[in-house]
Amino acid sequence: MKKIKIGSSDIKASLIGLGTWAIGGGEWWGESEEELSIKTIQAAIDSGINLIDTAPGYGFGKSEEIVGRAIKNRRSEVIISTKCGLWWQDSRGSEFFKHENQTVNRSLEPDTIKAEIELSLKRLNTDYIDVYFTHWQSMEPHFTPIKETMDCLMDLKRQGVIKAIGASNVTRENICEYTKYGELDVIQEKYSMLDRRIEQELIPECISSDLSIFAYSPIEQGLLTGKIGRDYVVNPKEARASNPWMAKDRRELVISMLESWQELTAKYNCTLTQLVLAWTHSQAVTHILCGARKPSHITEATFSAEIELNEEDIKRMKNDVLNLERK
């Protein structure tokens, strides 16, 4: 598996990373089988994936705990990426959403960050975090200036508690603030062929500032695998319910487009998932986070890193998506 340096740090992480949001289970993803999840994480490491991305907000700590169990005695083999900024232990911060009887606030105050990282270290059974992201950015009415947040993160970095700093769900202006007050190495943003918003401002800014990009949801919560059919019924409580591409009429358009790519999957001897991931890493993102709950998902994702699409096919897929969006 190809390893790529993260920003200006000395950390090299695999092109394909394992995203563990679904492993956290709960209403959004359904109950998670912990032993199967552990086997999945270990299969990822065995396959050459060394980047594992998690967060306290994934199952209210459950994802981090499972990752911690899975990497026991293998800590030196992995790059752990986790986050701060979603806070539910008390009323500090600005209310973001309610879920499973919890009120989740956005808080990037130094005191909540310090409390969060201690909790994450304990769940992950480690004494340092390789890449530490601000999960969501601070907002009114309890807004914390980025300078204060970055001062805290830089202090944690000087202590060796974190090795690199990242920011997720940001604007171009946020990036400029982070780089003004400290050492930002990477951003993490939603990116797929159906959601290319970061191409407008964030990708150019990252290129000019030598920042890496972790792309999450590259297969649109399973839609771009071709395994979600026309008759799929979306549970209103699951994570997919908020995805506009899951609406029946729009899903129909996507499925028809995917069916038209059968000649491409035959040409590259790959699945639709692998084709879509190969297209994604042909774009200006450095690392792709793929969710997986079974070891078989790992095998499919890792092979995609070996596929090199020719320029003509990359353009064809992009044009097909543009035509889809016009309908």
Q: What is the 3-state secondary structure (H, E, C) of the chain?
A: CCEEECCCCCCEEECEEEECCHHHCCCCCCCCCHHHHHHHHHHHHHCCCCEEECCCCCCCCHHHHHHHHHCCCCHHHCEEEEEECEECCCCCCEEEEEECCEEEEECCCHHHHHHHHHHHHHHHCCCCEEEEEECCCCCCCCCCCHHHHHHHHHHHHHCCCEEEEEEECCCHHHHHHHHHHCCEEEEEEECECCECHHHCCHHHHHHHHCCEEEEECCCCCCHHHCCCCCCCCCCCCCHHHHCHHHCHHHHHHHHHHHHCCHHHHHHCCCCHHHHHHHHHHCCCCCEEEEECCCHHHHHHHHHHCCCCCCHHHHHHHHHHHHHHHHC
291 pLDDT exceeds 90? no
1 pLDDT exceeds 90? no
Give the pLDDT score at 28.
Answer: 62
C-beta neighbour count of 71 within 10 angstroms: 21
The model's pLDDT over 199-232, given as tens digits with 9 standing for 90+, comes to 999 999 999 999 999 999 999 988 999 888 888 8
Give the pLDDT score at 313.
Answer: 97
Give the pLDDT score at 54.
Answer: 96
30 pLDDT exceeds 70? no
CB of 270 within 8 A of CB of 303? yes
Q: Which domains does the chain have, with CATH numbers?
A: 3-223+273-307 (3.20.20.100)
Q: pTM (2 decimals)?
A: 0.93
Give the pLDDT score at 3.
Answer: 95
Length of the chain: 327
31 pLDDT exceeds 80? no
268 as an active site residue: the answer is no
Residues 6 or more apart in contact with residue 225 via CB below 8 angstroms? 219, 271, 272, 273, 276
Give just the sign of the alpha carbon dihedral 232, 235, 238, 244.
positive
Query: Tokens 């297969």, residue?
Result: 219
The model's pLDDT over 120-137, given as tens digits with 9 standing for 90+, comes to 999 999 999 999 999 999
Give the pLDDT score at 62.
Answer: 94
pLDDT band at 26 (very low <50, low <70, confident <90, very high): low
The model's pLDDT over 149-191, given as tens digits with 9 standing for 90+, comes to 999 999 999 999 999 999 999 999 999 999 999 999 999 999 9
Q: Which of the residues 58, 132, 216, 268 is marked catalytic?
A: 58
CB of 50 within 8 A of CB of 77? yes
CA neighbor of 193 nearest in space, from 15, 321, 313: 321
With pLDDT > 70 as the criterion, what percentage of the chain qualifies?
Answer: 98
Give the pLDDT score at 79.
Answer: 98
Give the pLDDT score at 84.
Answer: 98
Give the pLDDT score at 101.
Answer: 85
The model's pLDDT over 228-274, given as tens digits with 9 standing for 90+, comes to 888 888 888 777 888 898 888 999 999 999 999 999 999 999 999 99
25 pLDDT exceeds 80? no
